[in-house]
Amino acid sequence: MKRPALALVTAATIALSLTACSSDNADTDAAATTAAESSAATAAATSETTEASASTSAAEKEEAMGESEVHLHDGTMRAKAAADAEGGSTMTAIFGVLENHRDEDVTLIGFTTSLGDAMYEIHEVVNGVMQEKPGGITIPAGGQVELKPGGEHLMIMGYEPEIAAGETVDVTLLLSDGTTAEVKDVAVRTMLPGDEDYGDLGHGEHGGMDHSEHKH
């Protein structure tokens, strides 16, 4: 009678062992599947992140290159009082260094500013006479042109409100190839006395005016 009982115990033990092995195998397979799925998800996420990062870097690089190809370095606008104030004027000018980081010459043919409604012209001084510069300013490839008192400069006319020192003005440079270059936050500063004395002259009186009336 003891042998059948022993046989039953042995059979039960074997069955439990098989069940345990089957369970272990199932757990192992499930763990392997989960690990594989997790690895695939991680790889996909990493790929998306890399692609997004590459796209962002390319966009940032393109934007940075666009801003730096043609630029106004150390741009400064002369502060002025309102036209109806004592010593006020309707005119002012922008100075600085025009830089061309392209591999070909580029010509500045005009500009606008965030001041809005005004007359914008490129001017030069020839034999002591202030006048509009025909054809604009050509900036050589990889070179620069200085905008300065007594020389070439960007002229703003017909603007009556005050432009106070400490303010900033955005400038858009218009190029001969149809492109533009944005120059943000050009500083408005008080120039030294006598450096620029525009007076309150209208545009009609400005063309070809004597240098003594328009000091630079």
Q: pLDDT for 86-120, tens place per residue?
A: 989 999 999 999 999 999 999 999 999 999 999 99
The tokens for 18 are 């098989």
Q: What is the pTM of this model?
A: 0.62
Q: pLDDT for 10-52, tens place per residue?
A: 555 555 454 555 555 555 555 555 655 666 656 555 556 555 5
State the average pLDDT over residues 152-168: 97
Most distant CA atoms of the chain, gap in Å: 135
**Residues ≥6 apart with Cβ < 8 Å to 160:** 82, 83, 84, 90
Write down all domains in the chain, each with its CATH number in brackets: 70-189 (2.60.40.1890)
